[in-house]
Amino acid sequence: MFFAYKFTSMLKKVLFISLILICSFTKAQTDTSAKTEPTAVPTPTVKPQKVQPDPPSLGDIFKPKVSLGVGMLSFHGDLYSKHYQAPWTARIGYDLNISQRLFKSFQLNFNVLFGKLGANEWVDNRQENFQSEIRSGGLSLMYDFGNFIPDRCRIRPWISLGVNSFEFLSKTDQYDRYGNKYYYWTDGSIKNIDEAAPTASLAVNLNRDYIYETDIRELNKDGFGQYQERAWAFPVGAGALMKITDRFDFKIGVQYYFTTTDYIDGISNKSLGTRAGTKQKDNFVYTSFALQYDLVLKKKSKADTLPDDYYDGIDWLAIDNGDYDEDGIKDWDDKCHGTPKGVKVDANGCPFDDDNDGVPNHADDELASPAGVEVNSQGVALTDEYWQNWYNVYMDSGNVVKQEVIENFYAVKKDSTSASDASKNEKEYTVELARYSGPVPNDEMAYLLSIGDVKSTTLADNSTVLYTAGTYKEIQNAVNRRDEFIKEGNKNAKVGYFKNGDIVTLSDEELAKLLEKNTTTAVNTSTNASETNSVVTIDMDAVANEFAKGDIVYRVQLGAYKNRISKGVFRNAGTIIELKTDDDVYRYATKGFKTIEGAANLKADLVLEGYGDAFITAYKDGKRIPMSATKATMETTEKEDITKIESFSSVDKSLVSFKVQLGALRKAGSNDMEEKTKDLQGVEKQGTGSGMIRYTAGSFSDYSKADKYRQELADKGLVEAFVIAVFKGEIISIQEAQELLK
C-alpha cells in the first residue's frame, strides 16, 4: 500500500510537470506561427486574403485523447525450456492511456497498465508455477510517421519508447483447496506424499486447483530475503492506428517491457539446484487493442473558412463547357471520362463497342465477338471449344489451374440466344497463311510478323503451328482478305474456320455456295428492310484489319527459348505469336500495333508485371526494319542488329520459384496432413479448381535445393512429396521454369 501511495503521488507530479511543458511548448509554437504570414497557394481565380487567426484557446493548447484497451500479457523469463510463454497461455491485461500531441508526428502518452502474468512449467525434474499481479504506470513518446503519411490516410503505423514504474506481487500454487501439498512424481502424476517417503504406497492422486495462495517472497526457497517487489520497465512498442470517426480511433499494438528485476517468477541464476535460471532479467509482452476518444475536437477557426469573395472572378461558363479528355463531349455530359486521345466516342463520351462485349473497339482484338459470349481482357471470345481445350489441358497437366479474366460480365446481350447456341450456330472465318511443324524460315518469319493481325495456333497434334490473319463473321470479308494475300504473292492463302481445336479449310466450291447463300440472304434482308422502313446494319468486321499496305507494324518481343514454353507464361501480354526459328529457337512476340505509342504502353505495363527485358521491334512490307528507321526516338547510339536472333528471356527470374507439394486433400484436415506438417516452417495451403486443398512447403530459386528439401521431407515420412514450379503464383512445368531461369 505504501508503494501504491508513493507511485500515485509520483505519477501526479509527472503529469503536472509534463502538462506545464506541453502548454509552454504549444504557446511558443503559437507565438512563432503568429509572426509568420501563411503562404498562399497560387490560384488564378482566387484573390489572396490575409486572415487573422483566432486567439489561442484552451482547446488549441491542451487537446488530450484518452483510450481504454484490453490485451494479453505474456511472460519472458526463467521458466520454460525456451524461456518464453506461448501466446495462447497468456493472461489478460487492461490499459488506460492519455495522450497529448507535441509535434505533427510525435505525441506524449501517460499510461496505466493492470493485469496478471503467470506461467506453469513442468520440464524434466523441475515443476514451477507462479502468477503475479502487475500494476504499472509511466509515460512514453510515440511516433506515427505524420511527416511521411498524409492526413487523409485513415490508417497509419506507430512506434513508441517509454519508461514505466511497476510493482508485482508474485504467488505460487503449492497446495490444493484442502491444504494438501503437491508432490510431483516421475510418472507424471501429482500425489499428496513424496515419492521417496516410506509411506509412498499410501499416496493418492491430487489435481491442481490453480489457486495461487503462497507468496513466493515469503516462501524464500533460495534465501533471497525480502527483495523489493517493484522495479522499472522500458516498453518498446509498435502497431497501427485507424481513424473511425473524427473523435474515435481504433488502436492495435504490441509492447515489449524490458525490466530491471529478475524476481517476477521468483527464480534467478542464483537460485538453488534445479531452480537455477538465466542471467537475463524477467521481461513481458503486452499485445492489445484499444478504442481512443478525442476529448477536445478542434473547431474550425476563421483561417479555415473561405472569405466572402473567394469565388469572385471564376469563369463558371468555362467550367460548364470543359472537355478534359478532348473527345468532343462536355465533362458535364461525359459518362466516360479519360477516354484515350483520338478514340471515337458516342453521344455519351464512351468509346464505341460494336460487339457489346464490354471491351471498347480500340482495345478489342476481336471486333465481332459472338453475342453473349464471355471474353478475355483483349475482347476475344471464350467459346465452348476454348473451354473444352482448357479442360483438356487441366486434366492433362496435374490439375494446374489458371485464372481466366472475364471482362464482359455486364455486357449487353443483343438477343436471348444463349452463349453456347451462339458459338455453335455462328462460324468465325479466318485466312490461313501458312502452317509449320518445324522451323519457320527467317524471311517467312519476317513476312508473318509484318502482318498486323496475324495469329499463331498450335493444332490438335501439338506439333503443327498454324498462322492465320483476321476473324470475320461474313464470308465475303474473309474471301476479300484472302484475295489480297494472293495478289501479294501468297498463293497458299485459304479461307477456313476453327472447330474443336483444328482448322476446317473451305474448298472453292464450298466458298461459292456460302457466297451465293449470303448474297440471297442479303437481298431478302434488303427487301424486307425497305418494306418496313428499317435500317440494315453493316457488318463491322469488314474493317477489322486496321493495317494498310505499307504500314509499320510494331511488336513487343517477349523471349526466345531453346525449348517451347506455354503462352500462359505471358498471360498478361494479350495475343501471343509463337515462331520456331531455323536455329530451333522458339520466339514469342505480342500482337501488332499500328503506333509506337501502343507498343510502348504495353511494354511499360509488362515491365511492371515482371517482364523487364522485353523490347520493341518493327516490321514493314514483309521485312524487319531497324527502330531508327521508324518514328521512334532512340535512347541509345548502339546499332540494332536486325538479322541476329539470340536466346533471351524477358521474365524477371525472381518471380520463378520451386516448392515442394506435400499433398492435395478434398478438404483441410481430412487426414493426418495437419499432424505431419505442424512442425514444418512455411507451409502454405491453396485451393484448386477441383475443390482440393494443396499443401506446399518451402520456396527455392534452384531446383536442386528444392529436390534436396523434398528428400529431407521424405525421410520424415512425407514420401509422396514432389517438387513443383511456380511463376507469379501459378504452377508451371519444371521444364518451363528451368527454361525461364537460363
User: pLDDT for 467-525, tens place per residue?
Assistant: 998 888 888 888 988 898 898 888 889 999 888 778 888 888 888 888 888 776 655 55
Based on the fold, state whether residues 275 and 147 are members of the same structural domain.
Answer: yes
538 pLDDT above the threshold of 60: no
Based on the fold, state whether residues 563 and 665 are members of the same structural domain.
Answer: no
First vs last Cα of the chain: how many Å apart?
73
Cell for 341? 486521345
Q: Which of 589, 620, 649 is the last residue of a domain?
A: 649
pLDDT in tens, 69-83: 999 999 998 888 777
Q: Which residue in 596, 600, 598, 652 sits closest to 629, CA to CA?
A: 596
Residue 214 included in any domain: yes
Looking up residue 125, the CATH number of its domain turns out to be: 2.40.160.20
Beta strand segments in 603-733, E = 615-620, 623-625, 648-649, 656-665, 683-687, 693-700, 722-727, 730-732
Residue 127, beta-bridge partner list: 122
Considering 124-133, 210-219, 526-535, the range whose residues carry the highest mean pLDDT is 210-219
Q: Which of 250, 279, 294 is the last residue of a domain?
A: 294
Looking up residue 716, the CATH number of its domain turns out to be: 3.30.70.1070
Residue 160, beta-bridge partner list: 142, 237
pLDDT at 305: 62
Asked if residues 657 and 736 have their Cβ atoms less than 8 Å apart, the reply is: no
Reduced 3-state DSSP string for 421-457:
HHHHHCCCEEEEEEEECCCCCHHHHHHHHCCCCEEEE
In which region does residue 393 sit, left (phi positive, over 0), alpha (psi from -120 to 50) or beta (all else)? alpha
Q: What is the DSSP letter of 205?
A: B
Q: Which amino acid, one-letter code, is at 207?
A: N
Which range among 175-184, 205-214, 457-466 shows the weakest confidence by mean pLDDT? 457-466
Residue 698 lies in domain: 653-740
pLDDT at 92: 94
Please tell me the distance from the alpha carbon of residue 366 to that of residue 375, in angstroms, as a whole number. 9
Q: Which residue in 731, 576, 558 sits closest to 649, CA to CA?
A: 558
Residue 527 included in any domain: no
Asked if residues 160 and 143 have their Cβ atoms less than 8 Å apart, the reply is: yes
Residue 116 included in any domain: yes
Which range among 56-70, 78-92, 174-188, 680-694 shows the weakest confidence by mean pLDDT? 680-694
Which range among 588-597, 675-684, 718-727 shows the weakest confidence by mean pLDDT? 675-684
Please tell me the distance from the alpha carbon of residue 434 to that of residue 580, in angstroms, as a whole number. 13
Asked if residues 192 and 154 have their Cβ atoms less than 8 Å apart, the reply is: no
Based on the fold, state whether residues 254 and 287 are members of the same structural domain.
Answer: yes
Cell for 462? 501439338
Q: Which amino acid, one-letter code, is at 215?
A: D
Q: Which residue in 647, 603, 610, 608 sits closest to 627, CA to CA?
A: 603
Q: What is the DSSP letter of 487?
A: H
Based on the fold, state whether residues 584 and 672 are members of the same structural domain.
Answer: no
Sequence-distant (6+) residues with CB within 8 A of 276 are 267, 269, 270
347: Cα separation from own chain's centroid = 38
Beta-strand pair 214-215/283-294: unpaired
Residue 508 included in any domain: no
Q: How many domains does the chain have?
A: 3
Residue 256 included in any domain: yes
Q: Which amino acid, one-letter code, is at 680?
A: L
Please tell me the distance from the alpha carbon of residue 214 to that of residue 652, in angstroms, as a whole number. 64
Based on the fold, state whether residues 678 and 724 are members of the same structural domain.
Answer: yes
Is pLDDT larger for residue 629 or for residue 401? 629
Please tell me the distance from the alpha carbon of residue 247 to that of residue 298, in angstroms, as a whole number. 10
Q: Which residue in 224, 187, 183, 236 sits closest to 206, CA to CA?
A: 183
The predicted model gives 694-716 an average pLDDT of: 85
Please tell me the distance from the alpha carbon of residue 604 to that of residue 568, in angstroms, as a whole number. 19
Say whether 654 sits in a helix, a strand or coil: helix
Q: What size, in residues, is the chain?
A: 742
**Whole-model pTM?**
0.42
Q: What does the DSSP assignment read for 71-126?
A: EEEEEESS-STTSS--GGG-EEEEEEEEEEE-SSSEEEEEEEEEEEEEEEEEETTE
214 pLDDT above the threshold of 60: yes
Based on the fold, state whether residues 98 and 149 are members of the same structural domain.
Answer: yes
Counting Cα atoms < 13 Å in the Cβ hemisphere of 200 gives 11
Based on the fold, state whether residues 122 and 260 are members of the same structural domain.
Answer: yes
Based on the fold, state whether residues 163 and 246 are members of the same structural domain.
Answer: yes
Asked if residues 126 and 104 have their Cβ atoms less than 8 Å apart, the reply is: no
Cα–Cα separations (whole angstroms), residue 365 to 230, 388, 703: 75, 21, 38
The predicted model gives 356-361 an average pLDDT of: 84
